Amino acid sequence: MKLKSLINTYIAHRKAIGEKFCTNEYYLKAFYMHIGSDIDISCVSVEKVSEFLYGNRPVTSTWFVKYSALLGFYQYTISRGHVNASPLPIILPKRPPAFVPYIYTRVDLRQLFQAAFTYQINPSCVEPYMIYNVLLVLYGTGLRLSEGLSLSLGDVDLIQSVIIVKATKFYKSRLVPFGAQVAVAVNEYVNWRKMKGFSQNETSPFFYGKANKSLNMSTVQDAFQRIREKAGVKRTDGARYQPRLHDLRHSFAVHRLISWYQKKADVQQLLPLLSVYMGHTHLAATSVYLTMTNELLQEAGRRFEEYAGRVHDDE
């Protein structure tokens, strides 16, 4: 059976059982494009697979994402008798150091939001104020970029100060309340949006891009990199990657935790609520976002000192 046909059948199978399967689909299609779509599955060599996995770059986390996608595919093909053995490597390379997200400081955020108004060198069809509000909503609510750009006007309830996020990453919908500061900014944006003549239909995109369509992810990501450079926000810890747009979501989670510590709230009781708020199925997924920073460590340390002091007084 042809490799391309079998991969497409496998992708359809995974989606039919309720998975979005976006990342694996991307790499599996890249695999048959690299190998050759007309090749028979039985003719895929170990050398060709290795060439696809490694490429010309050092091993990164992407290697393991590719490997995982191919592993599932070959388990499927073997179970159905299309091949007898997998051409995947038996010995895996050493995993690279874990990626450490960048947690924006309050100063970083202020600089980013200010630079959002002045980052453009040439006029664009997407106004800086639009991009500014995308960044503000992403940080203020912890939404994924895909969730923010998928919002329609009717998904944002200005009266109740809540966003309706519909069937996203895990096919689950949820309500995302937002605070007073975000509410003021969102109200101002909605008025600006109306003044600019954008559609007031509830199904119209909340954030507009080119040709009156939803703002494109790559447009926002490209804009953010220019904004970050304009703001002078960069890593100084020797990490391979510079601060990302997705790190706004990480920063939201860490700053929320710090705020709870400062308010002397019961963090252990609140963590499951944060998990649901961020759209996670399991608490473990939320823990990925809780990068330890000096500020968070200090607040946790103060909490422990208070606890230790109470225990000492009771003795």
Tens-place pLDDT, residues 154-178:
999 999 999 999 865 555 788 999 9
Rounded Cα distance between 191 and 198, Å, is 10
What average pLDDT score do residues 116-130 get? Answer: 90
Give the residues across from 157 on adjacent strands: 162
Question: Does residue 315 or residue 123 have the better pLDDT?
Answer: 123
* Strand-pair partners of 176: 163
Least confident of 95-99, 108-112, 230-234: 95-99
Residues 278, 173: Cα–Cα separation, whole Å: 11
Query: 198 and 204 in contact (C-beta within 8 Å)?
Result: yes
Residue 68: both structure tokens together: 């995982």
Q: Look at the pTM and tell me if it is higher than 0.85.
A: no
Q: Report helix angle 247-262 to 294-314, nearest 10.
A: 30
Rounded to 5°, the CA angle 41-45-51 comes to 115
pLDDT, mean of residues 4-13: 96
Q: How far apart are alpha carbons 270 and 279 in whole angstroms?
A: 15
Q: Bridge partners of 208?
A: 214
